[in-house]
Structure 1
Amino acid sequence: MPLLTRSVQTPLNIDVRRGAIATLGELLHDRRISARGDVAVVVGPGLGEQIAALLAPTLGNAEIIFTTGGTLESALELGAKLRGRNIDAVVGIGGGKTIDTTKYAASRYGIPMVSVATSLANDGICSPTASLDHEGGRGSYGVHIPLAAVIDLDFVESGPDSQSRAGIGETLSNLNAIADWELAARAIGEPIDGIAVAMARSGAEALINHPGDLGDDGFLTVLAESLIMGGLAMAVSGTSRPASGGCHEISHAIDILYPGVGSHGTQCGVGALFCTFLRGEDARFAQLSATMRRHEVPRSPADLGLGDDQFAEIVRYAPRTRPERYTILEHIGIDHLAEREVNAMVADYVGAINS
């Protein structure tokens, strides 16, 4: 008999609201993750005392562990601290670096993990990967998705708007990743996971069509849910394809050639807009550009502090970052084109943004 359905692994609970951290103990109890609050809570720089005070009333048994986060070394150090402890789960509270560090350490030692995001800069909240720096650069490591995901909008609001703008760029780039995946299906027969596509696309489309802005709880909730859906789309498909295409190749190339220029999400947003331009999708290009302009998300190389010639160098280098991936960049062979041809493409792209 053929398999008629498939099981999809998801968190036990997704909670996006104000004051979520203060009631974390109740969530852990109600979802039977930890009846007595015997957990380790991992926090990044600057959040420790505030979070400890919020957790004390409902999570008094928690042990607070501080981490700088973001590196493979820090993740291994955290894992060593967690190993052998008699805890029900580990809770990572903070931005992407803290959550990725906690996800890696928890997965390494088979400890259930709860993700608590205080910013909306990327889709790592629920993704099956952890991006960590090491001596050779930055690696992406497979991890278990969290048992539960919590986003506290009070912390999101108090953080810089640039983080949420990065999350907007990351979410919108899913549309480019899907278009690149569909291109690969047509050109080289790469299989597509329709459920993963639907999950990643629906979040991005919801963001485009929401009338609110960064000061609106409704919009921030949609952004949070869209980032979660993007991460789960990767877990469902077993690949980063639904959330990573030529846009991410360009972001990785920026990190290699001009490190520190921008955040991952904003770089992916610019990369997605450029790739959409290359595919000649005029209506989608206009839609993405208008959405990014409305939310003040970088759209051009200059917005990232890059010159047009530097961006041309970046996009020619980009296919080298993911040689196994087929996107619009590989389709047109951008890394084999003459420098003047790529410069002309970039100039036309910048002109289209400014027109």
Structure 2
Amino acid sequence: MSELIERALRTSTDTKAVLAEPGAIARIAEVYRTTFPGRTALVVGDERTMTVAGDAVLEALRAGGVDVAEPHVFPGAPELYAKYENCELLRDAMSGQDVVAVAVGAGTLNDIVKRASGELGRPYLVVATAASMDGYTAFGSSIAVGGYKQTLDCPAPAACISDWTVLAAAPAVMTASGYGDLLGKVTAGADWILADAVGVEAVDPDVWELVQGPLHASLSRPEALAAGDLQATGELAEGLIMSGLAMQAAASSRPASGAEHLFSHLWEMEGHGVDITPRRLSHGFKVAVGSVAVAALYERLLERDLSALDIDAAVAAWPSAEQIEARVRADHQPHLADEIVAQSLAKYCDADALAARLSRLASIWPALKEKLTAQMIGAAELQRMLRAAGAPAHPYDIELTWQQFRDTYRRAQMIRKRYTVLDLVLEANLAAELVDELFAPNGFWGKQS
């Protein structure tokens, strides 16, 4: 385990042990005994993950003197889905046993076990089988309730095992998904800088370093990742683990999630990608395209001199709270509209507060522009990196229509109260103009239409 992870564990609220190295599964018993002394282990996997790692986990636990219950094995993909019914199924199976769950799998298995264990008030351990997302060490579980994905509250795992040998052997599409999820921290970082600068949400320097410190090294070798290189996979896994630990330290997803995740969340809420074959569209792949979209918007924004912003015109154009609600209801499905209205109004400010915010923005713009420019990677370069890793980099790659994708720039701003560049350009009365530029014939997206 690296010094970075050791340092992050000192501030994590839930996760107390991480073992990240080649062959880590062979040492799982010592981690389990230390973390859950005297407790019986219940290995939870699906038909595929049991073959990949679950059987080895069972053998290592038994050999290390851990009492092991009969494993709980779900059907394999594509049948297994992170829906609430599966959480209930596992929770009910566990409730009659005094066991600690050992999740063996990636996003779906981890989310199911995390929520089921959380509802029972029990800790759990996760064994990663792919470097596919940053949720292994994050709190909260992405679960479909009534057919629509949402984040349900529950603690992060008490321990995480990341065996690089297993991760490097995972399907390339899963590693590419993890790369897309991690790459989103570039734009998420820019959004946090922005929120800090306008006085909405301060940057915590220690938490910032947990994510942004190892980020560029973790993203630096996409070609090696696509080839299944062990060291490159380990570096990616470390970045993903650090992201989850940072969210624990911040008690928020802010360190790892910005406007690029709003793009992804909107598509997930509306069920986009559930029916794509042969594999459901992953969270990381949606974040990948969202990251390029947001980077392209930042490029257009950073070409503006906001120190000369027409604040009076922006305030005059600012909609009322009632108009905001009407826009939300016009733009979103009726069963989602009430919650989206609540999120939009939670971050709404009146005209006086807007004028003060924009005045502050104008006064600090030269220094803020410099910070944002240093944080960002160009949209075209992000596309190159994603394609080298085998991840999507264009809306067509994830089967979005052109209009659906363009509309996301407007609609994604509404769905969460988190302040991002989507809010800033709306407040500055630049949103429509900048998006038009992106989709103009000579614009970033117009040239790719």
Q: Distance between the aligned counterparts of 1:327 and 1:132, measured in 2?
A: 24
Q: Distance between the aligned counterparts of 2:178 and 2:147, measured in 1?
A: 26
Please give the TM-score of this superposition, normalised by the length of structure 2. Answer: 0.70
Q: Shift in Å at residue 184 of structure 1? A: 1.5
Q: Is contact 2:425–2:431 with CA below 8 Å preserved after alignment? A: no
Aligned-partner residue type, residue 306 of structure 1: L
Aligned residue among 5, 20, 23 for 1:16: 20
Q: Is contact 2:114–2:154 with CA below 8 Å preserved after alignment? A: yes
Aligned to 1:54: 56
Aligned residue among 228, 234, 243 for 1:230: 243
Q: Shift in Å at residue 332 of structure 1? A: 1.2
Aligned to 1:328: 421
Aligned to 1:114: 125
Q: Distance between the aligned counterparts of 2:81 and 2:426, measured in 1?
A: 37
Q: Distance between the aligned counterparts of 1:24 and 1:231, measured in 2?
A: 20
Q: Distance between the aligned counterparts of 1:321 and 1:51, measured in 2?
A: 38
Rg (Cα) greater in structure: 2
Q: Higher helix fraction: Structure 1 or Structure 2?
A: 2
Q: Is contact 1:44–1:69 with CA below 8 Å preserved after alignment? A: no
**Does residue 1:101 correspond to 2:112, yes or no?**
yes
Q: Is contact 2:27–2:60 with CA below 8 Å preserved after alignment? A: yes
Q: Distance between the aligned counterparts of 2:52 and 2:393, measured in 1?
A: 36
Give the alignment's Cα RMSD to 1 decimal: 2.8
Alignment of 1:284-299 (within 5 A): 284-285=377-378, 286-299=380-393
Alignment of 1:1-355 (within 5 A): 7-9=11-13, 11-29=15-33, 31-35=34-38, 38-48=40-50, 51=53, 53-60=55-62, 61-63=67-69, 64-67=71-74, 68=80, 70-87=82-99, 89-135=100-146, 137-210=148-221, 212-214=224-226, 215-257=228-270, 259-260=272-273, 262-280=281-299, 284-285=377-378, 286-322=380-416, 324-333=417-426, 342-347=435-440, 348-350=443-445
Q: Shift in Å at residue 185 of structure 1? A: 1.8
Task: Mark the CA change 1:133 to 1:243 in structure 2 (over 3 Å): closer, same or farther.
Answer: same
Write out per-residue CA displacement over residues 95-144 of structure 1, whole angstroms, 9 at most, x where no aligned residue: 11111111111122221211111012111110011111110611212222
Q: Shift in Å at residue 55 of structure 1? A: 3.5
Identity %: 27
Q: Which runs of 4+ in 1 moved over 6 A?
A: 336-341
Task: Mark the CA change 1:337 to 1:311 in structure 2 (over 3 Å): closer, same or farther.
Answer: farther
Q: Shift in Å at residue 179 of structure 1? A: 0.8
Aligned to 1:3: none
SS in 2 for 1:252: helix
SS in 2 for 1:349: coil
SS in 2 for 1:59: helix
SS in 2 for 1:284: coil
Q: Distance between the aligned counterparts of 1:114 and 1:191, measured in 2?
A: 32
Q: Is contact 1:103–1:143 with CA below 8 Å preserved after alignment? A: yes
Task: Identify unmatched segments of 5+ residues in structure 2.
Answer: 1-9, 75-79, 303-372
Range with bigger deviation, 64-73 or 123-132: 64-73
Q: Is contact 2:247–2:254 with CA below 8 Å preserved after alignment? A: yes
Q: Distance between the aligned counterparts of 1:352 and 1:185, measured in 2?
A: 34
Q: Shift in Å at residue 221 of structure 1? A: 0.4
Q: Distance between the aligned counterparts of 1:174 and 1:341, measured in 2?
A: 22
